[in-house]
A and B are shown apart, each in its own frame.
Chain A
Amino acid sequence: MRISKLSLVVLALVIGASTVQAQTNNASITATAAVQTPINVVGAQQLNFGNVFPGVNKTVAATDLTNAGRFDVTGQASTPVTLTFTLPATLSSGANTMPIDTYTGISAATSAQTGGVAFNPVTGANPSLSGAGALFVWIGARVTPATNQAQGTYTANVTMTVVY
């Protein structure tokens, strides 16, 4: 059988065209992350000055487990956190105000304040959560009622912010 020269060329081109393809290859890797436990903060106890008399300053120490203000923090175990505070300058009773100052703070891994570390709430602190992911923070302060301080119940908010 004679094969025409044109047929040979066409055959070659057809075979060639049918096999032309781009060479590709691929591989994969894995992206990984471990999201830690979110921070939870609870105002556990009020900073309670109790009865205050005009002209008589009264201090509640941060070591006063009964009357100091307390925040309870939970989060990722053994992780450092940053504490910052919004500290009022006065307590209010209607239109009347009473100064509050000299804030003090203590942070500890237990509610018994065992091994507590003092800090200045004005500048904040950088403690670490315990191995159980807990942190307790106490706040003390001083009120300075005027000699003509009006009778009444005075209050203000102390805010603590916690971030990793």
Chain B
Amino acid sequence: MKTLSWSLIGLALLGAALPPVVGAQGKPLNVTGVRGLTFGAVFPGVPRAISRTDAANAGQFDIGHAKFSPIQITFALPAVMTGPAGATMPLVFGANDGGYSSPETITSQVGFDPRVAFATALDKNGRAAVFLGGTAQPAPSQRAGNYTATITMTITVLP
């Protein structure tokens, strides 16, 4: 009997120590890239800024997980965009270029600095959207052509 009790204690501790593979409601952590950050036509020597509130051009990610989950948002932000023949164009992100939206609407955001980790928590719906702006800085002699860069957002569920 005592052995059984200790077994049960051990199993209880095991259950408490193991993190949920899914959320408390059985939800996996979903992170989706919804829309790219689009600068469009850029002219040599003329910086082009896209606001995180730009509904057509701001980058967007969606997050889904267990409701009220504490999370941390981090970005891998490129310093340049790459174009024809290896030409590069500086890409700059500022302290107000990140936007977190629990209602998942671009018109309702909390601004944050995408260059540093941002901690928050999902709401009762277990969903949120993250918007991203930035500034392209073409040189006066910037080579004409199409430029691209990859932006990665990582979500970590906090304990």
User: Which residues of A does B touch, CB under 8 Å?
Assistant: 2-3, 5-6, 8-9, 11-13, 15-17, 19-39, 76, 79, 163-164
In the complex, what residues of A have CB within 8 A of residue B5's CB?
Answer: 5
- Minimum CB–CB distance for B47 against chain A, Å: 11
In the complex, what residues of A have CB within 8 A of residue B34's CB?
Answer: 29
- Minimum CB–CB distance for B130 against chain A, Å: 10
User: Which residues of B does A touch, CB under 8 Å?
Assistant: 2-3, 5-7, 9-11, 13-14, 16-19, 29-46, 48, 59-61, 78, 81, 83, 89, 91, 132, 134, 136, 138, 140-159
> Mind listing 12 A-B residue pairs with CB under 8 Å?
A19-B18, A22-B19, A22-B159, A25-B29, A25-B31, A30-B150, A30-B151, A31-B150, A32-B37, A32-B148, A34-B146, A35-B138
Q: Which residue of B lies closest to A18 (CB)?
A: B17
Q: How far is the CA of A164 from the CA of B150 in the complex (A)?
A: 28
Query: Contacts A16-B16, A22-B159, A35-B144 given; 19 further ones with Cβ under 8 A?
Result: A5-B2, A5-B6, A15-B17, A23-B156, A29-B33, A29-B36, A29-B132, A30-B150, A31-B78, A31-B81, A31-B150, A32-B36, A32-B148, A35-B42, A35-B43, A36-B43, A76-B41, A163-B45, A164-B43
Given contacts A31-B37, A35-B142, contact A25 B13 (CB under 8 A): no
The answer to whether B154 touches A33 (Cβ under 8 A) is no
The answer to whether B13 touches A12 (Cβ under 8 A) is yes
In the complex, what residues of A have CB within 8 A of residue B35's CB?
Answer: 29
- Minimum CB–CB distance for A133 against chain B, Å: 11
Q: How far is the CA of A17 from the CA of B158 in the complex (A)?
A: 17
The listed residue with most B CB atoms (<10 A of its CB), out of A12, A17, A31, A32, is: A31
In the complex, what residues of B have CB within 8 A of residue A9's CB?
Answer: 6, 9-10, 13
In the complex, what residues of A have CB within 8 A of residue B19's CB?
Answer: 19-23
In the complex, what residues of A have CB within 8 A of residue B29's CB?
Answer: 23-25
Q: Which residue of B lies closest to A11 (CB)?
A: B10
The answer to whether A26 touches B31 (Cβ under 8 A) is yes
Q: How far is the CA of A30 from the CA of B155 in the complex (A)?
A: 18
In the complex, what residues of A have CB within 8 A of residue B151's CB?
Answer: 28-31
The answer to whether B13 touches A28 (Cβ under 8 A) is no
The answer to whether A28 touches B148 (Cβ under 8 A) is no
Q: Which residue of B lies closest to A15 (CB)?
A: B14
The answer to whether A31 touches B91 (Cβ under 8 A) is yes
Given contacts A9-B9, A35-B138, contact A24 B154 (CB under 8 A): yes
Q: How far is the CA of A51 from the CA of B148 in the complex (A)?
A: 57
Q: How far is the CA of A22 from the CA of B35 in the complex (A)?
A: 27
Q: How far is the CA of A22 from the CA of B20 in the complex (A)?
A: 10
The answer to whether A20 touches B81 (Cβ under 8 A) is no
In the complex, what residues of B have CB within 8 A of residue A5's CB?
Answer: 2-3, 5-6
The answer to whether A16 touches B154 (Cβ under 8 A) is no
- Minimum CB–CB distance for A22 against chain B, Å: 5
The answer to whether B14 touches A16 (Cβ under 8 A) is yes
In the complex, what residues of B have CB within 8 A of residue A19's CB?
Answer: 17-19
Q: Which residue of A lies closest to B159 (CB)?
A: A22
